[in-house]
């Protein structure tokens, strides 16, 4: 059973930095691609970026200047860092898995999500 678990602060200040971690099943970090997706309250899904199995990254052009996704193989986890926060970054943040052999960019397993609120 695939498990992804998001963790991190749920309240961050405007102009601050959001740092989230997604813990995945042991030994799977190098065998899948890993994505972050967010959902503002009452809104739709927004792709943030992807960490490939070869450790390369790919970001949403609208967020690229503020986003970093990286991995920690020793902890079976990958992380999201988003800087210069505003209220518009308030959202549920999901981590999601993409099969390495995918050609359709399907996200076949998702974490439960973590609600992050940007407020002073």
Partner 1 sequence: SSKLTQDPVVSVALGQTVRITCQGDSLRTYYASWYQQRPGQAPLLVAYGRNKRPSGIPDRLSGSFSGNTASLTIAGAQAEDEADYYCGSRDTSGNHLVFGAGTKLTVL
Binding site for partner 1 (CB under 8 A): 35, 37, 44-47, 50, 58, 60-61, 94, 96, 103-113
As given in the structure block, the two tokens for residue 65 are 């200047």
Q: Are strands 109-110 and 91-99 parallel, antiparallel or unpaired?
A: antiparallel
What gap in Å lies between CA 7 and CA 59, rounded to an integer? 21
Q: How many CB atoms lie within 10 A of CB 104?
A: 6
The residue (of 89 and 98) whose beta carbon lies closer to partner 1 is 98
For partner 1, the closer of residues 71 and 93 by Cβ is 93
Measured from the CB atom, the residue of 27 and 42 that comes closer to partner 1 is 42
- Cβ atoms of 11 and 55 within 8 Å: the answer is no
Would you say 89 and 62 are in contact if contact means Cβ atoms under 8 Å apart? no
For partner 1, the closer of residues 42 and 86 by Cβ is 42
């Amino acid at each position: 059973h695939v498990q992804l678990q998001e963790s991190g602060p749920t309240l961050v200040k405007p102009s601050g930095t959001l740092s989230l971690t997604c813990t995945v099943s042991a030994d799977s970090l190098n065998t899948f691609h890993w994505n972050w997706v967010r959902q503002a309250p009452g809104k739709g899904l927004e792709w943030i970026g992807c960490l490939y199995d070869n450790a390369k990254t790919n970001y949403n052009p609208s967020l690229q200047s503020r986003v970093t996704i990286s991995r920690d193989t020793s902890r079976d986890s990958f992380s999201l860092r988003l800087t210069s926060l505003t209220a518009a970054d308030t959202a549920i943040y999901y981590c999601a898995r993409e099969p390495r052999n995918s050609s359709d960019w399907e996200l076949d397993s998702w974490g439960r999500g973590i609600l992050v609120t940007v407020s002073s």
